[in-house]
Structure 1
Amino acid sequence: MIPVVVLATVDPVLRETAVLSWLTDRPGTGVLRQDLDPEAGMLRRVVGDEHGVVEDRSRPADRGCPGCVLRENALPAVAAMVKSGRWQRIVVALPVSAASVPASRPLADPFARRRLGIELATVVSVVDVDRVEDDLMGDERVGQRGGALAVGDRRSVGEALAAQLGHADLVLTTGSNPVGLTLVDHLRGIRSARRELHQTRVAELFAARHSARSAAARLDPRTLQPSSVPDAHGVWTLDLVSHRPMHPERIMARLADLAGGRVRARGRFQVPTRAGRLAVLDGAGGHLSIGDAGRPATAVGTRVLLTGTGPERAQRRQVFAEMLLTDDELASGRDWSTVDDGLDDWLGPR
Structure 2
Amino acid sequence: MIPVAILATVDPVLRDAALLSLLTDLPGTGVLAQDLDPDTGTLRRIVSDQHGIAEDSTRPLAHACLGCAIREDSVPTLESMAAARRWERIIWALPVSAETAPAARPLCRPDAVPGLELATVACVVDADQVEADLMGDELLADRDLALSADDRRSVGEASAAQLGHADLVLTIGEDPVGLTLADHLRGRRTLRSTLFGIRAEQVFAPRHSARHAEARIDPCRIQAPDAPDAHGVWSLDLLSPRPVHPGRFLAGIGELAGGRTRSRGRFHLLSRPGRVAVWDGAGRQLSIGDGGPWRVGTPSTRIVFTGVDDDRARVAQGFARMLMTDDELAGSMRVRHEDDGLDGWLGAR
Per the normalisation by structure 1, the TM-score is 0.97
**Residue 7 of structure 1 contacts residue 92 of structure 1 at CA under 8 Å; is this kept in 2?**
yes
Distance 2:342 2:59 in 1: 40
1:216-261: CA deviations, max 9, x gaps?
A: 1011001100111111100011100000000000111001211223
Corresponding position of 1:335: 334
**Residue 127 of structure 1 contacts residue 173 of structure 1 at CA under 8 Å; is this kept in 2?**
yes
How much has 1:12 moved relative to structure 2?
0.4
- Any residues of structure 2 matched to 1:286-325 within 5 Å, and which? 286-297=284-295, 298-325=297-324
Q: Which amino acid aligns with 2:31?
A: V
Distance 2:62 2:313 in 1: 45
How much has 1:72 moved relative to structure 2?
1.4
Q: Note if 1:237 corresponds to 2:235.
A: yes
Corresponding position of 1:98: 98
How much has 1:62 moved relative to structure 2?
4.3
Distance 1:293 1:154 in 2: 20
Q: Note if 1:277 corresponds to 2:275.
A: yes
1:254-306: CA deviations, max 9, x gaps?
A: 01211223210101000111122210100101110111112214314110001
- Any residues of structure 2 matched to 1:1-350 within 5 Å, and which? 1-62=1-62, 64-113=64-113, 116-297=114-295, 298-350=297-349
SS of aligned partner of 2:196: helix
Q: Which amino acid aligns with 2:272?
A: R
Q: Which amino acid aligns with 1:70?
A: I
1:165-206: CA deviations, max 9, x gaps?
A: 000000000000000011000000121111111111111111
SS of aligned partner of 1:31: strand
Distance 1:338 1:94 in 2: 45
**Residue 63 of structure 1 contacts residue 150 of structure 1 at CA under 8 Å; is this kept in 2?**
no
Distance 2:223 2:27 in 1: 39
**Residue 64 of structure 1 contacts residue 150 of structure 1 at CA under 8 Å; is this kept in 2?**
no
| Deviant stretches of 4+, over 3 Å | none
Q: Which amino acid aligns with 2:294?
A: P
Distance 1:305 1:176 in 2: 26
SS of aligned partner of 2:259: coil
Q: Please, which runs of 5 or more residues in structure 1 have no aligned partner? A: none
1:296-344: CA deviations, max 9, x gaps?
A: 1431411000111012111110111111001211223542232111000
Distance 1:230 1:324 in 2: 28
Question: What do you get for the CA RMSD once the two structures are aligned?
Answer: 1.2
Q: Which amino acid aligns with 1:59?
A: R
1:48-84: CA deviations, max 9, x gaps?
A: 1111111100111047421111121221111111111
Classify 1:107/1:197 alpha carbon distance in 2 versus 1 (closer, same or farther; 3 Å): same
Classify 1:39/1:63 alpha carbon distance in 2 versus 1 (closer, same or farther; 3 Å): farther
SS of aligned partner of 2:249: helix
Residue-pair matches, total: 348
SS of aligned partner of 1:251: helix
Classify 1:294/1:23 alpha carbon distance in 2 versus 1 (closer, same or farther; 3 Å): same
Distance 1:250 1:63 in 2: 40
Q: Which amino acid aligns with 2:69?
A: V
SS of aligned partner of 1:250: helix
Distance 1:190 1:71 in 2: 27
Per the normalisation by structure 2, the TM-score is 0.97
Q: Please, which runs of 5 or more residues in structure 2 have no aligned partner? A: none
Query: Percent of aligned pairs with the same residue?
Result: 59
**Residue 257 of structure 2 contacts residue 284 of structure 2 at CA under 8 Å; is this kept in 1?**
no
**Residue 97 of structure 1 contacts residue 160 of structure 1 at CA under 8 Å; is this kept in 2?**
yes
Distance 2:108 2:332 in 1: 48
**Residue 130 of structure 1 contacts residue 177 of structure 1 at CA under 8 Å; is this kept in 2?**
yes
**Residue 188 of structure 2 contacts residue 226 of structure 2 at CA under 8 Å; is this kept in 1?**
no
